[in-house]
A = this chain, B = another copy of it.
Amino acid sequence: MIKISEYTVRRLSTYRRILEELLADRIDVVSSAQLAELSGTNPAQVRKDLSYFGNFGKRGSGYRVEVLCQRIRSILGIEGTWRVVLVGAGNLGTALFSYKDFSRHGFQIVAILDSDPEKTGQTWDGVEVSPVKDAERVVRKTKAEVAIVSTPAVSAQSVVDRLVAAGIRGVLNFAPCKLEVPAQVELRNVNITIELEGLSFAMRSADEAAK
């Protein structure tokens, strides 16, 4: 089994979104050229990405939208539902909780943790906000497998350690810090400051070039 790069996986995710849009538009068949155009890449890349997983297309015509979409959902492992614990019920946590896009696509928030006694005990849309000290119990009870961390940087590592101990297998980290997790636990970081500083660098470089 050859190793699939993270770049390929990210593009698959993009193809999936586009295929669902095509599906909604009652488009039946799509070529690698069209899919490339819509996702901002090139046809060879699309075909190469898909070829790692099988021969999904039909020569001469292209890919059946519905079939390909279902296949990608299966490859990504989002046919079923992942159970998510949201850690940190501040502004960002609230925003993520009410962000319905990923809840529609296989990620269901089943528990919320926060350290603020004002918040713990509340119920958001049927989901209880529990104190961080109950992290292990809550993860086990709800069978959460994924954690979304939107706590301040200082508290992130300690709560992640406890989630991992309780059996969490994937972490999406919004806190601006490096998290240590065991190799068998998957980790992705989203860091808004890095993105903004990347923009800043590019804008500044454009200024230099213009001089």
Contacts and interface: CB of A to CB of B under 8 A. Distances in A.
A96 B196 CA distance: 12
A contact residues, range:
35 or more
Contact of A196 (B90, B98, B102, B199): B102
Contact of A194 (B14, B38, B98, B204): B14
A97 to B, nearest CB: 8
Nearest to A186: B202
B101 A193 contact: yes
A13 B202 CA distance: 13
A188 B192 CA distance: 10
Given A13-B193, A77-B204, A193-B105, A188 B199 contact: yes
A87 to B, nearest CB: 15
Contacts of A169: 203, 206
A76 to B, nearest CB: 5
A92 B94 CA distance: 8
A6 interface: yes
Interface of A: 1, 4, 6, 9-10, 12-14, 16-17, 38-40, 75-78, 82, 90-92, 94-96, 98-99, 101-102, 105-107, 145-146, 169-172, 176, 178, 184, 186, 188, 190-206, 208
23 contacts: A9-B202, A10-B194, A13-B194, A13-B197, A13-B198, A16-B197, A75-B201, A76-B197, A76-B201, A77-B201, A78-B200, A82-B196, A92-B99, A95-B95, A102-B193, A107-B196, A169-B206, A170-B203, A172-B192, A188-B195, A188-B196, A188-B198, A190-B192
